[in-house]
Structure 1
Amino acid sequence: MSLSINTNTSAMIALETLNATQTELSATENAVSTGLKVSTAADNPAAFGIASQMNGNIAGQSAVNDGLSFASQVVSSTTSAANQIISVLNTIQSAVTSLGDNQGSPTSVGQIGDEITSYLNQIDTIARNATTNGVNLLAYSKQGTGGTADGNAITANSLRYVTGLSGDTATITGFNSMIATDVTANASLGISKGTAGGSLAYALGLTTDKTMGGNISGNVFTGTTGSSTITSGFLNKSGTSSSAYVSAMISQVQNALNAMTEVTAALGSNTQMLSSMSTYGSTVSDNLTAGVGALTDADMSAESAKLTSLQTKQSLAIKSLTIANGQSQNILSLFQG
């Protein structure tokens, strides 16, 4: 090979090798520092595009999972309230039963009536307070999305939530109407069934006072409270007291208990479904994350070995370029005397 001071082929080849090694080394160092073999579209357009779409799905599934968690909280709060209301109804049944022992004493009947009405107010208070972010599945909101005047900011009586990335939804309908439907007719007391559209005690058929948010003034058993003389209520139907009325009143409370038991059964079913969907949602998120990792994550053991190799090649390329550049200096020796 001829020697030339204008064209140093060896230096050109060494420089090309060094530049190629430098480019590859830069990509490897980026993979090592970021942990990604595909961090931009320039690295792998197809993989980057697919990973970007999957990252969007991961964000969407995260929102779905958050919605399922919120729905679970609403159902959990409602379940706790329903169980507490059942406990209060059991106490009411005991109080109603005691009416049969005090029919001859209007004062005692009035006191028991006050006690029962107090329990009914407890039921409505528990129901109204079972509100999570404006959603209440027990109380009834006449104003719909406008909320209620009871200070509990109930804006929805049903719960709708997204179940998956495709946008499918599920709805848990408020139980006020279902409760009213489950309270069966009681001809002895002159009541057809519970009525929806007011307080929970009203839906349970235990009071004629449907106002939501205010204090209940009486119950269907002894009538208006606060008076030692009972002038209304089922205990004094047709102006006479009868053990048959006591039996019918106990039946009325049992109807209310059965209705609330149906609520807890429905809530239990929804709890199981939400738990299953939450578990599945977490699995979907994990699978999507693993898929993105398979497309973009760097194999750190391989990248480490590659980095060592490229650093060695870089050193050799620099050495080769130094030797090639020295060839031009060797030409001077040909002209020394």
Structure 2
Amino acid sequence: MSLSINTNTSAMVALETLNATQTELSSTENAVSTGLKVSTAADNPAAFGIAAQMSGNIAGQGAVNDGLSFASQVVSSTTSAADQIISVLHKIQSAVTTLGDNQGSPTSIAGIGDEITNYLTQIDTIARNATTNGVNLLSGGTSDGLSITASSLNYVTGLQGDTATITGFNSLIKNDASVKVAGAGGTTMTDALGLSQSGTAGQNPTSNIFTGSAGSSTISSTFNTSGTVNVSAMISQVQQAITAMTDVTDRLGANTQLLSSMSSYGATVSDNLTAGVGALTDADMAAESAKLTSLQTKQSLAIKSLTIANGQSQNILSLFQG
């Protein structure tokens, strides 16, 4: 190899090697610091594009999972309210049975009637308060007060926009053939259960179907024919209301199981998508660590080589020294 002061081939080679090593080292240091082997489209356009799309799906599935969680909360709140209503209905059945034992006592009839009406107030209050973020599955509509904005629940079940609906149970009860006395649409829960009539949404009942308005000392003509009180029919009326509410809890239980299953599946989908993005973009930290050490050594050697190559020009001077 000839010696030239204009062209230092060794220095050029050493510099190219150093630049290449420095570029690779920068990439490795970025992977180590971010934990990603593909952090921009420049690293791997195809992998970056696929990962970006999958990341969007992860965000979408997260929203679906949040919606399922909200639906679960609505169903849970409604279930608790329905169970409490059934407990109150049991008290009404006891009171109605006692009413049959006091047919000849106007004072007792009036007192028991007021007790039953009070129980009906409890039922309607519980139904109105079973509201989660404006959704109430027991209300007769959106006029019941307490910020009720929807009497049915719609929620998204999957990434592709599939939806499901839980219809309000007030209308279900009202249209239940097992309830002999049912109110009109959008009525109170006690009207729908056939235990009161002509109720106003958002207001407590002022009467019951067994004794009529507050203070009444006689049994309603519905269950009193020519002085003969049909105690069996009164008890049956309450039992039918219990049956209707039990049907509601059964449906709520089925929805709880469905939502639990879908939430579990949604979490699995999110995990799989996250793992898929990781497989495309995550760096192997063990391999990157070994590569970093190797490149740092190569960098040091390249700098040393460039230093030696640059010294060759100085060697030319010795040829002209006497």
TM-score by length of 1: 0.93
Residue aligned with 1:161, SS? strand
Alignment of 1:7-156 (within 5 A): 7-141=7-141, 147-148=142-143, 150-156=144-150
Name the aligned partner's letter for residue 308 of structure 2: I
Residue aligned with 1:160, SS? strand
Q: 2:195 aligns with which of 189, 194, 206?
A: 206
For each residue in 1:246-290, what CA deviation from the matched residue of structure 2 results, as whole angstroms up to 9, or x when unmatched?
Answer: 110100000000000000000000000000000000000000000
Give the distance between the partners of 1:215 and 1:291, measured in 2 at CA: 56
For each residue in 1:78-131, what CA deviation from the matched residue of structure 2 results, as whole angstroms up to 9, or x when unmatched?
Answer: 000000000000000000001111000111001100000000010000000000
Q: 1:220 aligns with which of 196, 209, 217?
A: 209
Give the distance between the partners of 1:87 and 1:249, measured in 2 at CA: 18
Report what 1:273 is aligned to.
258
Report what 2:244 is aligned to.
259
Residue aligned with 2:195, SS? coil
Shift in Å, 1:195:
4.4
What is the alpha-carbon root mean square deviation over aligned residues? Answer: 1.3
Name the aligned partner's letter for residue 213 of structure 2: T
Shift in Å, 1:234:
2.9
**What stretches of structure 2 of length at least 5 have no aligned partner?**
none
Decide whether aligned partners of structure 1 residues 121 and 90 sit closer, same or farther in structure 2, where only a CA change above 3 A counts. same
Give the distance between the partners of 1:111 and 1:232, measured in 2 at CA: 14
Report what 2:171 is aligned to.
177
Give the distance between the partners of 2:133 and 2:221, measured in 1 at CA: 38
Q: 2:279 aligns with which of 288, 294, 299?
A: 294
Shift in Å, 1:310:
0.2
For each residue in 1:14-33, what CA deviation from the matched residue of structure 2 results, as whole angstroms up to 9, or x when unmatched?
Answer: 00000000000000000000
**What stretches of structure 1 of length at least 5 have no aligned partner?**
142-146
Q: Is the 8 A contact 1:100 1:246 kept in 2?
A: yes
Report what 2:227 is aligned to.
240
Residue aligned with 2:175, SS? helix
Name the aligned partner's letter for residue 175 of structure 1: F
Moved more, 214-223 or 266-275: 214-223
Shift in Å, 1:182:
2.1
Shift in Å, 1:214:
1.1
Residue aligned with 2:154, SS? strand
Report what 2:296 is aligned to.
311
Q: Is the 8 A contact 1:57 1:288 kept in 2?
A: yes
For each residue in 1:199-228, what CA deviation from the matched residue of structure 2 results, as whole angstroms up to 9, or x when unmatched?
Answer: 00000000013211112110001111124x
Residue aligned with 2:155, SS? strand
Q: 1:167 aligns with which of 161, 170, 183?
A: 161
Report what 2:306 is aligned to.
321
Aligned length: 322
Give the distance between the partners of 1:161 and 1:260, measured in 2 at CA: 24
TM-score by length of 2: 0.97
